[in-house]
Structure 1
Amino acid sequence: MPAPATPPTIGRPRDAALDAAILRAAMELLGERGLSALTMDAVAQRAGAGKASVYRRWKSKDELLADALAMYAPVDVEIDTGTLRGDLIALYAHHYGIGNPVTQAAMQEILGNVRQHLAWTAKVAPARLTTRRAKVQEIFARAIARGEIAAPSDLDLVADLVPAMVLYQYNTRAQKVSRARLARLVDGLVLPLVGLPGTAARP
C-alpha cells in the first residue's frame, strides 16, 4: 500500500529577515519614543514592511513588544564568571543592555517610565520580572555554595540594592547606566554587605 501523499504547505513560509527587522524596529522605537508612542503603523514604517505583514505575525503591539524584549533583552540567561562580583556585574550589564545600543536605549526609556512599564509587564509578561529576580538570587546562592560568602541575613534587601540605585540615580540625577556605574554599585554597596572587600576603583 503506497504511503499517503504529504499535504501541500499552506501559505508562504515566514521571512526570518523581515521578522528580525520588525522586532528591531519595535525596540528602536521603544527607545526613541517610549511605549505609548510605539504603534504597529510606526513599526511597519520603520521596518519597511506593510502593516498587514506586521499584523500577520503579531495580533497586537503587546505581543510584538513581548517578542522584541524576549529577543533583545532575554532574562533567562546563564552567567557564571566564578565570582559573585563578576556574576553580578555581568548579569546587570546584560539586563540593562550594556554593549547593545538598541537594547540599552530601550532599557533607559523603561527606567524613565518605570510605572508604565511595570504595569505593561504585569499584564503581558508577568514571568519576566520573576525570572530576572530569580537569576540574581541564583548568583547569590552559588556564591554561598562555593563558600565565597555567608548567607546574607536579608537577601531580598541585598538583591534590591543595585536595581534600586540605578532607578534612583537615573530619575533624580539623570545618571545613565554604564558598566562602570554598575561595578561601582556592586563594589560600594553589595560586596561590603556580604563581607567582601569592595572598591569603586576596581575595573
Structure 2
Amino acid sequence: MSARTQAGNRGGRPRDSRVDDAIASAVRELLAEVGYARLTTAAVAARAGVGKAAIYRRHAGKQEMIFDVLVPGQFLAVAPDRGSLRADLAAVLAEVADSMAAPPPGTIPGLLADVQADPALRKRFDAKYLAAQRRTLTEVLDRAAARGELTARPGPAALNALLVGPVFAWLFLLSESPDQLPALTSLLLDATLALIGAGDPGAPDGSGSEIVT
C-alpha cells in the first residue's frame, strides 16, 4: 500500500503540500503589500490560486491562517537542551525575538488584538500555542531543577511572561529597533535568571551588552 493511500485511510484525502506552500507564500506577500488589517482570506485564495474551501480545510479563519504561517506549530514546541539553564533560556529568547521581529509591522499587535477579542479564538490559541510553550518551559525548568541550578522555581506562566513581555514591549509599545534585540535579550536573560535565583550574570555569553538608542 502506498504512503499516499495510507494517509488517505487515516483520515480522508491527504493534504497537498503545494497548496500549503502557495497559501503560506500568499499570506507573506499580502502582509508585506497591504498589511494585516486589509488582508482577507479571499485575497489569499486568489493570490495562491486555490479556492477558499482549501484554506478553511487547513485554518479556521484569517487569524489562525496568519498565525500558522508566521508562527508554525514547531514554535517553542521542542525544549532546547544546551546543558545549562542560561543556555536553554538564551535559545528560547532567540526564538521569541525572531518570531516577533520577522513579520511586517503591525502584524503581531493586530493578530493578538483579534485573538483577545474573540473568546473562541482565544481558547483555540491557548490550546494550540500557549500550551506548547508552557510544556517547553516546564521541561526547561525540570532539567534546571535536576541539575541543581534553581534556588526557587517559577511557574511556566511566570517564566513565559518574563521572556515574552519585554520583547513585545520593546518592539510594539516602545517602537524600538529590532536591531537592538540581541543586546536587549542578553540583558533580559540576566534579569530573568536573577529573578528566579539562577545563573551568573558575569557568564561569558554576551551578557552585559548595552542597548544604544
Return the alpha-carbon distance in structure 2 between the equivalents of residues 96 and 148 of structure 1.
25
1:51 is matched with 51
Return the alpha-carbon distance in structure 2 between the equivalents of residues 139 and 71 of structure 1.
21
From the superposition, tell whether residues 27 and 134 of structure 1 become closer, same or farther in structure 2 (CA, over 3 Å).
farther
Question: Is residue 162 from structure 1 mapped to residue 163 from structure 2 by the alignment?
Answer: yes
1:46-195 matches, cutoff 5 A: 46-47=47-48, 49-52=49-52, 54-55=54-55, 57-58=57-58, 60-62=60-62, 64-65=65-66, 67-69=68-70, 71=72, 74-97=75-98, 104-105=102-103, 109-111=107-109, 114-119=112-117, 121-127=121-127, 128-152=129-153, 156-177=157-178, 178-187=181-190, 189-193=191-195, 194-195=197-198
Return the alpha-carbon distance in structure 1 between the equivalents of residues 91 and 105 of structure 2.
16
1:3 is matched with none
Larger Rg: 1
User: Are 2:41 and 2:52, in contact at CA under 8 Å, matched by a contact in 1?
Assistant: no
Report the number of matched residues: 188
Return the alpha-carbon distance in structure 1 between the equivalents of residues 70 and 98 of structure 2.
11
The 3-state SS of whatever aligns with 2:209 is coil
User: Are 1:66 and 1:125, in contact at CA under 8 Å, matched by a contact in 2?
Assistant: no
From the superposition, tell whether residues 95 and 158 of structure 1 become closer, same or farther in structure 2 (CA, over 3 Å).
closer
From the superposition, tell whether residues 82 and 107 of structure 1 become closer, same or farther in structure 2 (CA, over 3 Å).
farther
1:200 is matched with 208
Q: How does the TM-score come out when normalised to structure 1?
A: 0.69
Q: How does the TM-score come out when normalised to structure 2?
A: 0.67
**Per-residue deviation at 1:174?**
0.8
User: Are 2:27 and 2:44, in contact at CA under 8 Å, matched by a contact in 1?
Assistant: yes
The 3-state SS of whatever aligns with 1:105 is coil
- Which residue identity is paired with 2:80? I
- Which residue identity is paired with 1:125? F
- Which residue identity is paired with 1:114? L
- Which residue identity is paired with 2:184? R
User: Are 1:31 and 1:109, in contact at CA under 8 Å, matched by a contact in 2?
Assistant: no
* Structure 1: runs of 5+ lacking an equivalent: 1-5
